[in-house]
Chain A
């Protein structure tokens, strides 16, 4: 652990590695995050409209529900779970393959701190870029709700737009972003650990990848509960 967070050998190489990881872990995940968020927002809107059929509930409640569901839970947690699968398996298999093919030994022989060189930039990149991904996911989710809500005729644009502005609390976004940072740390560090300590061959790399995704997902759910209790209760 201390080795991972120790001072990098050369700051220019380290900076370059961070930008590479931001591109690999963050920017490349953007299309899947947007697609998932659009449909997530759409489904929440339709389900909310279906549940609020009573004349006593105003139609703008659909907008309120979509906004709060997306911001509080679906964007930070569901998208992080999906990223744990996509990014987590990629990190574990990349580092695991480097371990079994002696590339990590090659780094060590050169006098490079392999854990710091390989893992630290990934953690920094994920913790930096994931909040942006989640903010984009929030916008995409709410837009998806608006677009598909109008398309399926379950809500009017006016009611929906009024709803998403009604009683808006900025703290909800702060809470979601705090969760996101914690989840980003889990998504990058847990798979990196499993990959780094892989022993054997291709089969073990596959196992490490699967284990990493399972543990990351469970930890995300656990920390979701803990952080919600701490920040909202």
Chain B
């Protein structure tokens, strides 16, 4: 479980996050939605410790991450997997090497064991025969899937996905969404997903948080979001025509 208590973050005079709290439960997918520039990515970076918070704390299974020293943080980070918006695969490494990278760094697996685990992860994301391809040779959807494979290579307890569907066609988006949901349930992971894709909200969101101007504006389930009277949430949801019809 991940618990975020009252975190705030400013960049100079600009307040990016204001007093945000959330609880992400194990085996469930928590979705953070909101428009571009409203603080979703900053929130995720604060949760994983890529950005330091001005105030507030983050707990990973009751371990206070915010007050940990670098060495202790590293230990927790080895329990994390993250899929970045642009996949963030290492350009100089092949798909196989990308997925095997954390295994090389943090385990004493033999080359055979490593290859077996890499192949398992790639197969789990429905990718085969891409082992020797470099990121520049992969399509956007394939990159995301390799990114997921890399994120689950170390069997993480916490999975973070920043805009997993950005730049993907609707069909591939559904594939990625399904993968995230299945992996979360299968490995009992605590998953947090940033998105502004309403299809993802309906497909995989066990719990949904709406961020507006750096504040937690609304919280509920993916079903509740269709019936909320919150003006900003309704406007956001209403931009998807299908959902607009559903709301009616």
When distances are taken between beta carbons in the complex, the residues of chain B under 8 Å from A106 are: 82, 84, 88, 90
Check A111/B78 contact, CB under 8 A, given A102-B84, A105-B84. Answer: yes
User: Does A233 have its Cβ within 8 Å of any Cβ on chain B?
Assistant: no
Residue from the set A13, A101, A106 with the largest chain B CB neighbour count within 10 Å: A106
User: Does B19 have its Cβ within 8 Å of any Cβ on chain A?
Assistant: no
When distances are taken between beta carbons in the complex, the residues of chain B under 8 Å from A13 are: 104-105
Residue from the set A97, A102, A110, A113 with the largest chain B CB neighbour count within 10 Å: A110
B50, A108: Cβ atoms closer than 8 Å: yes
Residue from the set A13, A98, A112, A113 with the largest chain B CB neighbour count within 10 Å: A112
Interface residue tally on A, bucketed by range = 10 to 19
Within 8 A of A (CB), among B121-160: 154, 160
**Residue of A whose beta carbon sits closest to that of B151:** A109
User: Does B233 have its Cβ within 8 Å of any Cβ on chain A?
Assistant: no
B88, A105: Cβ atoms closer than 8 Å: yes
User: Does A10 have its Cβ within 8 Å of any Cβ on chain B?
Assistant: yes
Among B77, B91, B102, B154, point to the contact of A103 (Cβ < 8 A): B91
When distances are taken between beta carbons in the complex, the residues of chain B under 8 Å from A23 are: none
A10, B105: Cβ atoms closer than 8 Å: yes
A109, B104: Cβ atoms closer than 8 Å: no
Within 8 A of B (CB), among A186-214: none
When distances are taken between beta carbons in the complex, the residues of chain A under 8 Å from B81 are: 109
Interface string of B64-76 (1 = CB under 8 A from A): 0000000001111
Q: How far is the CB of A89 from chain B (nearest CB, A)?
A: 17
Q: How far is the CA of A227 from the CA of B7 in the complex (A)?
A: 51
Q: How far is the CA of A112 from the CA of B91 in the complex (A)?
A: 17
When distances are taken between beta carbons in the complex, the residues of chain A under 8 Å from B104 are: 10, 13
**Residue of A whose beta carbon sits closest to that of B79:** A111
A109, B82: Cβ atoms closer than 8 Å: yes
Q: How far is the CB of B19 from chain A (nearest CB, A)?
A: 25
Q: Which positions in A face B, CB cutoff 8 Å?
A: 9-10, 13, 97-98, 101-103, 105-106, 108-113
Please, could you name 12 A-B residue pairs with CB atoms under 8 Å apart, sorted by A?
A9-B105, A101-B86, A105-B45, A105-B50, A109-B77, A109-B81, A109-B82, A110-B77, A110-B102, A110-B105, A111-B74, A111-B75
Q: Which positions in B face A, CB cutoff 8 Å?
A: 45, 48, 50, 73-78, 80-82, 84-86, 88-91, 101-102, 104-106, 154, 160
